[in-house]
C-alpha cells in the first residue's frame, strides 16, 4: 500500500542483490516510464530494500494471465476467441514497437488480461532505444525457449514470432514444437512448423497467418500492426463458425507396406482438463490417438522416443502427480510420418479404449493391463490389483543397488571439460536431458564424484527442482547441480542465472 494516498500496489522484488539484477530492474523501470502505462503496468516507484535488492512498485492489476485462461479451457476455445484475443495482444505489442521497445519474452505467462485491456508483464529482458549495455553474455539465448525466434538478434519480428507460437497454442492447445533443450532450439531454427489445421479445425486465412508469423526469415513475418488488423478481421468473421474440437492429426490412410507394431498406450480420464493433459503428455513425446467423452488415449511410438515404455511410464507418473488416473496397455498400431513430418499413429483396432479401461479408476498408482506388464522395463515390477489389472511397484532392491555406470564415457568427459573451463574462469552451463529412467541422476552423481576428485577444494550444492539456492561464496570454485530441472520454480532458475 502506498503511504501517500493508501493506493494498493504490486511489488516486484529481485531474489538476489547482484549487479546484473540491479541493471535489469533499472532497465525495466526505464522502459515502464517510457511507455507510461500503455500496454504495460504503470510504474509507481522503484528502489532497493534493506538487503539492497532492487524492487519496482507497480499498479495492482485485476484479472488473470493468459496462461491461466488457457488452463481453464476443457478444449481449445475456438477460432473467434483465439483470433480476438490474439488481436488484443498484437495491439498491445504494437504500442511497444511504435516506441522502439522490444519485449523479447512474449508467452502466455507474461500476458495479463484485465476487463478492458491486455497488459504485457515482465520487461526484464526488454530492449529499449538508446540503451546499449548488454545484460546477457554474448551468444546467450534471450527469452523462453519454447517461444523464442531463431533470429540472430531479437527485434520486433522476434516478438511477432513468439506471438505466432502463442496463437498456435490458443488454436490447438499445444505448442508447434514439443521438444526440450538442444532439440527444441534446432526445431525452431531448422524444422518447418506444423500447421494449426493439422490439429484443429481452423480457417485457411488464420492457418496461413500463424505460419507467416513462424517464418524463419524475420522479413517474411507481418508487423505487429499488420498482425493486429488481420486478427481482428478474422476474429469478427469467425464469430459464427462452429466450435473447434481437438482431434489427432488427420491422415488419409496408412502407407502400404508399413507393418503394425506393438505400441505403449496410456489412457487417462480427463474430465474438463483435456488441454492440460495434452500438454503434459506431449512433454514425454506422447501422441494423442483417440478420445471419447471420458478418456483420452496416447501412444508412444519409436519414431518419437528412444524408450517408448519408459516414456509412457514417465508420462503416467506425471499425470498421476497432476491428479489424473493413468492405465498402461500395449496394442498393435501403425506409426508413420505424414508429408509435413508429423508423427501419425493409427490403432489397428480403434475405439477399443473402453475395453481395457478399469470400471473404476485407481488414482493412487499407475495401473497396467496384463499385456503391458509383459513389456515393463526390468527395473520396474507390478503387483496384482485385482480384476485382471496390475499396479506399478519398484522393488526395494532397485533403490539400494547402485549399478555401474556404462556407456556414458563421452558425456562424463564433456562434463569434466566444462568443469575445467569453469574453474579456469569461464562461466559454464551443462544441461542433461532425456526420458525418465535413462540414468540422468546417476550420471550427475558421477560428475560430482569426478569434480571433487579433480578439485578437492570445490564446494558442491546439489538441488532438486523444488530446492532453494544458497548464495555461494566467491573464494572457491562452486558447482551447482540441479536435478529434475523441469520442476524448478522460476525463482530458483532466476537465482541460478544471477549467480552464474
Q: Which residues are catalytic?
A: 105
C-alpha cell at 139: 551468444
Torsion over CA: 174, 176, 179, 182 (sign)? negative
Quick one: cell of 442? 546417476
Secondary element (H or E) of residue 266: strand 261-269
Quickly list DSSP for 445-457: HHHHHHHHHH-TT
Cell numbers that stand for 439 in this block: 540414468
Q: Which residue has the cell 530494500?
A: 49
The β-bridge partners of 393 are: 381
**d(C-alpha 184, C-alpha 192), whole Å:** 12
Q: How far apart are CA 23 and CA 26, in angstroms?
A: 5
In contact, 304 and 344? CB cutoff 8 Å: no
Could you give the angle at the alpha carbon of 90 between the alpha carbons of 83 and 233, nearest 5°? 40
CA distance linking residue 124 with residue 9, whole number of Å: 19
Distances (CA, A) of 182 to 83, 159, 434: 31, 21, 11
* Cα gap 456→446, rounded to integer Å: 15
Write out the three cell numbers for 134: 548488454
β-strands 459-463, 478-482 pairing? parallel
**DSSP code string of 285-308:** T-EEEEE-SSEEEEEE-TTT-SSH
Give the residue from 150, 164, 97 showing the smallest Cα distance to 126.
97
Q: Classify each residue of 86-122 as buried b or exposed e, where b means 16 or more C-beta atoms within 10 Å of its C-beta.
A: bbbbbbbbbbbbeeebbbbbbbbbbbbbeeeebbbbb
Judge whether 443 and 412 are in contact, CB under 8 Å: yes
Amino acid at each position: 500500500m502506498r503511504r501517500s494516498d493508501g493506493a494498493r500496489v504490486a511489488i516486484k522484488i529481485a531474489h538476489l542483490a547482484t549487479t546484473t539484477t540491479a541493471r535489469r530492474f533499472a532497465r525495466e523501470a526505464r522502459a515502464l516510464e517510457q511507455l507510461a502505462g500503455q500496454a504495460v503496468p504503470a510504474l509507481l516507484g522503484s528502489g532497493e530494500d534493506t538487503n539492497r535488492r532492487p524492487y519496482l512498485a507497480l499498479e495492482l492489476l485485476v484479472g488473470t494471465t493468459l496462461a491461466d485462461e488457457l488452463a481453464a479451457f476443457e478444449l481449445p476455445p475456438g477460432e473467434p476467441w483465439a483470433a480476438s484475443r490474439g488481436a488484443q495482444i498484437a495491439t498491445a505489442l504494437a504500442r511497444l514497437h511504435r516506441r522502439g521497445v522490444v519485449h523479447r519474452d512474449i508467452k502466455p505467462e507474461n500476458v495479463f488480461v484485465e476487463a478492458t485491456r491486455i497488459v504485457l508483464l515482465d520487461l526484464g529482458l526488454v530492449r529499449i532505444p538508446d540503451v546499449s549495455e548488454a545484460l546477457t553474455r554474448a551468444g546467450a539465448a534471450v527469452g523462453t525457449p519454447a517461444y523464442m525466434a531463431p533470429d540472430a538478434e531479437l527485434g520486433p519480428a522476434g516478438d511477432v514470432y513468439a506471438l505466432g507460437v502463442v496463437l498456435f497454442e490458443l488454436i490447438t492447445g499445444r505448442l508447434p514444437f514439443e521438444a526440450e533443450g538442444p532439440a527444441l532450439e534446432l526445431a525452431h531454427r531448422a524444422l518447418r512448423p506444423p500447421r494449426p489445421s493439422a490439429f484443429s479445425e481452423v480457417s485457411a486465412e488464420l492457418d496461413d497467418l500463424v505460419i507467416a508469423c513462424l517464418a524463419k526469415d524475420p522479413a517474411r513475418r507481418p508487423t505487429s500492426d499488420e498482425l493486429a488488423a488481420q486478427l481482428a478481421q478474422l476474429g469478427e468473421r469467425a464469430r459464427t463458425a462452429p466450435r473447434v474440437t481437438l482431434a489427432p492429426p488427420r491422415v488419409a490412410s496408412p502407407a502400404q507396406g508399413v507393418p503394425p507394431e506393438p505400441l505403449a498406450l496410456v489412457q487417462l480420464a480427463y474430465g474438463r482438463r483435456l488441454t492440460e493433459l495434452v500438454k503434459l503428455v506431449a512433454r514425454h513425446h506422447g501422441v494423442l490417438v483417440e478420445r471419447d467423452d471420458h478418456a483420452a488415449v496416447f501412444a508412444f511410438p519409436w519414431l518419437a522416443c528412444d524408450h517408448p515404455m519408459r516414456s509412457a511410464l514417465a508420462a503416467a507418473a506425471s499425470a498421476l502427480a497432476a491428479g489424473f488416473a493413468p492405465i498402461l496397455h500395449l496394442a498393435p498400431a501403425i506409426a508413420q510420418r505424414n508429408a509435413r513430418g508429423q508423427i501419425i499413429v493409427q490403432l489397428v483396432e480403434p475405439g477399443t479404449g473402453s475395453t481395457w479401461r478399469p470400471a473404476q479408476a485407481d488414482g493412487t498408482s499407475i495401473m497396467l493391463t496384463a499385456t503391458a506388464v509383459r513389456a515393463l522395463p526390468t527395473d520396474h515390477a507390478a503387483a496384482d490389483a485385482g480384476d485382471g489389472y496390475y499396479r506399478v511397484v519398484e522393488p526395494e532392491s532397485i533403490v539400494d543397488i547402485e549399478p555401474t555406470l556404462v556407456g556414458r564415457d563421452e558425456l562424463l568427459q564433456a562434463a569434466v571439460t566444462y568443469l575445467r573451463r569453469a574453474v579456469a574462469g569461464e562461466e559454464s552451463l551443462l544441461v542433461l536431458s532425456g526420458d525418465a529412467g535413462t540414468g540422468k541422476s546417476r550420471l550427475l552423481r558421477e560428475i560430482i564424484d569426478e569434480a571433487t576428485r579433480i578439485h578437492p577444494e570445490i564446494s558442491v550444492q546439489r538441488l532438486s527442482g523444488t530446492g532453494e539456492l544458497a548464495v555461494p561464496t566467491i573464494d572457491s570454485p562452486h558447482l551447482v547441480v540441479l536435478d529434475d530441472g523441469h520442476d524448478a520454480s522460476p525463482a530458483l532458475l532466476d537465482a541460478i542465472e544471477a549467480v552464474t
